[in-house]
Amino acid sequence: MEKELVVEIIELSNLGAGIAKQDGMVIFIENTCPGDVVKIEIIKQTKNYAIGKLLEVITPSKYRVIPMCPMQKVCGACQIQFIDYNYQLKLKKKIVEDYVGVNRSKSKIDVNVMDTIPSPQIKEFRHKIQYPISETQNSKRLIAGYYKPKSHEIVNIKYCPIQPKICDKIIEYIREIASKYNISGYNEKKHLGLLRHVVIRVSNYTGENLVTLVINDTKISKNIKEFANDIFNNFNEVVGVCVNFNNKKTNLILTDKTESICGVDYIEEKLCDITFRIGPNTFFQVNPESAENIFKYVKEYIKNNFNKPTIFDAYAGIATFGIVMSDIAQKVISVEENKESINLAKDVLKINNINNVELYAMDTAKYLEETTEKFDITILDPPRKGCTEEALDKTLKVTKSKIIYVSCNPQTLIRDLEYLISKGAKVSFIQPFDMFCHSYHVECVTIIDVE
């Protein structure tokens, strides 16, 4: 294949790269849109595919727009921000359809994929940020931002349009005062430096912020305590500053050891008229308004098809699904292995005077192994890796009617659906939601009949 080519982008890959074909060879080119005619340089070629680097957009696609962020090309967070939003929704539906059609088995899953439900907000929707921290080589000034695509090189972000403006102000203040307290940035290669990450949780309901400083240490020094108090005292919007201890060589951002330095160790969020508490380690959707769309959708489906069902809420986090469904359920059992999340869920039950939700701080697979109960509905909301075959087998045994599978990863979703189908279940439909605007990620709700 020639080193430089002019090609037309015909579709988008499941990882957000444009796809072109030349002499039967598939070429992946990042930062391109279906309909673009582009000049590219081939930078890698294998027997099955090639990777091209964009040199020039000769004829732009009718769906290409000017990205709202000037850092879009170098920051790895918003891979498709340069594509018209309504077309993004169509592309996300097609990504799910492609996973449905190109699955691991020889037979295809016969299931209808619905149109993607848009996010109510496409700016300032991201209410959890996790910035890796480093420092410049000479001046030792802190660097905070997101990684460049396919690297661990940090892009120093001063302004991010997908997160609330207060996050930019907090991060900039942290950069400015770090040297005053002798706070060094983390060097990943050498495993040196104190501040590894800054995690900010923002409440869409109250506007309050919880800041967590992730440090490469096992104890809180006087400097880090004064640093935390300075952040807390400078922002009325910050209701608490915590320190998370992570002194191991790992890609894990937060460990299970967190200490509150000042203020409170949670923020309150309101979804579906229920007040939730979110801590530093709590799993909670980053886009609250889109999450509320999902909860309302699931609730409406259950309400229209069941009368006071029993519900099993698996991989529950702070039991958001279980709590939101509680008023239309006879009983809900929510299971989550993170004890902090379960403790926060207990507070939510008290605050909202909910009495028909039982909480268990344990692994979902272990609970399934031990329980003798049967449920009308099981809601599965596993992490990106999906469910084990053992967990799926046990879910089928304890579920009398429907499984509602909520997934942030179409690849593992389709894998798990294939397995459930092989065991006799039937998939009714898949409903995509846009939770992560301007990225290739897509959230899906799948209705599964086990009768």
Provide the annotated active-site residues. 408
In angstroms, the CA 334 to CA 381 distance is 11
Burial class (CB in 10 A: 0-12, 13-18, 19+), 110: exposed
In angstroms, the CA 264 to CA 277 distance is 11
Q: DSSP letter at 98?
A: H
| Residues in Cβ contact with 20 at an 8 Å cutoff, skipping those fewer than 6 apart | 7, 8, 9, 10, 26, 27, 29, 32, 38, 40, 52
Q: DSSP letter at 181?
A: G
In angstroms, the CA 54 to CA 241 distance is 43
The candidate with the shortest Cα–Cα distance to 162, out of 253, 47, 46, 72, is 72
| 392 sits in which H/E element | helix 389-398
Please give the structure tokens belonging to residue 439: 């990225």
Q: What is the largest CA-CA distance in the chain?
A: 68
In angstroms, the CA 304 to CA 204 distance is 29
**DSSP track, 4-27:** EEEEE--EE-TTS-EEEEETTEEE
In angstroms, the CA 120 to CA 300 distance is 18
Q: DSSP letter at 379?
A: E
Burial class (CB in 10 A: 0-12, 13-18, 19+), 328: middle
In angstroms, the CA 253 to CA 256 distance is 10
Cα distances (Å, whole numbers) of residue 196 to 168, 263, 429 = 18, 22, 42
**DSSP track, 320-377:** HHHHHHGGG-SEEEEEES-HHHHHHHHHHHHHTT--SEEEEES-HHHHHHH----EEE
